[in-house]
Amino acid sequence: MPIVADTGLPSFERFRREGGEVLSPDRAGSQDIRELHIGLMNNMPDAALEPTERQFLRLVGGCNRIAQFYVYPFSPPQVPRGERAQAHIQQYYHDFSQLKEAGLDALIVTGANPVCAQISDESFWEPMCETLDWAVQNVTSTLCACLATHAAFLHFHGIERQPLAAKRWGVFSHRVALEHPLVRNVNTRFDVPHSRWNDISAAQMSGASQLVLAQSAEAGVHLATSADGLRLVFFQGHPEYDNFSLLKEYKREVNRFLAGEIDDYPPYPDYYFTEEAYPILEAYQSRAVRARAQGVACDEFPEQQVPVDNTWGDTGKIIFNNWLGTVYQLTDRDRRRPFMPGVDPSEPLAHIF
């Protein structure tokens, strides 16, 4: 369904060139179609700021509801930014205080790049908690991605994320753990990328009366919700990732090895690369290790030569379609406000679930 390009945000044009349906405000205003207004709290670092916009636009734009989607990116000023990213935010992003006044039907809170041992010490912690507190009282549903999930569990339930022995990194097989509208029409087994150093387990989530909907024997919980089934939706995986997102992360780690920032050559992300990729990657590893030992420059990482498959995108679109479809049922047709402001987030939405 169409996304309305209500600003000159470059990601709208990029999405249109990829084949997504994007409407101008004039064209959208001439059609008698229901609107949904979705906030996007983008906490990602500068290099990932615009790619994260595009990734979530694709998931929203893949929804098949008869609606026009207005997406409002915003980023807390407490997050340190370089000059280019700050200019991008000032030109294209929205002010959260104004979004609160206007109202939102749904909200996406992205993850972030952790730099502190304690999540409560991160620059985004206080604005994220403020946003979540407002959202559970005023937004029909808020989707928390990865680190935002960990922040929400600490803020609302006092549950600390647990450090992993090694980075959980790759594309893992998951199974549906509970029948629920969010996993309607999803294959019982499906793939999801993960990239994180910390975890909240199924036992921790269930102990707080949260609903675990999809999990992996190797990677843990991917999808869960608050006790009411919708108020908060939690991702630990990354269904929004592009085909090459993990490849770029792997390239970054290889470059860190070449720069002497890490001692060991990075391992491959689990279950991600195709068999055709390994000869290319192994040959480059040999050159990189030799170049570092000799103190000479190595040729560029052969990113364009490495084939990768996307085995998770369709499932991510289905879950987003289910999520926004449920929000669509619960929001007022005529106002940018949910039907249920001020409802306790622990109260079951019995008329839907």
Catalytic residues: 146, 238, 240
b/e per residue 294-328 (b: at least 16 CB within 10 A): eeeebeebeeeebebeebbbebbbbbbbbbbbbbb
> 337: which 2 tokens?
């406000």
Question: CA geometry: angle at 146 spanning 154 and 328, to 5°?
Answer: 100
- Say how far apart CA 276 and CA 101 lie, in whole Å: 53
> 49: which 2 tokens?
């700021």
Strands 3-4 and 68-74 turn out to be parallel
Strands 141-145 and 232-235 turn out to be parallel
> 62: which 2 tokens?
């893949």
Question: 196: how many CB neighbours lie within 10 A of its CB?
Answer: 21
Using CA atoms, how far residue 304 sits from 10, 231, 244, 280, in Å, is: 24, 41, 10, 11
Question: 204: how many CB neighbours lie within 10 A of its CB?
Answer: 18
The torsion angle over the Cα atoms of residues 338, 131, 194 and 251, rounded to 10 degrees, is 130
Using CA atoms, how far residue 68 sits from 62, 106, 184, 231, 317, in Å, is: 12, 13, 22, 22, 16
- Say how far apart CA 323 and CA 330 lie, in whole Å: 11
- Say how far apart CA 59 and CA 63 lie, in whole Å: 7
Biggest distance spanned by C-alpha atoms of the chain: 68
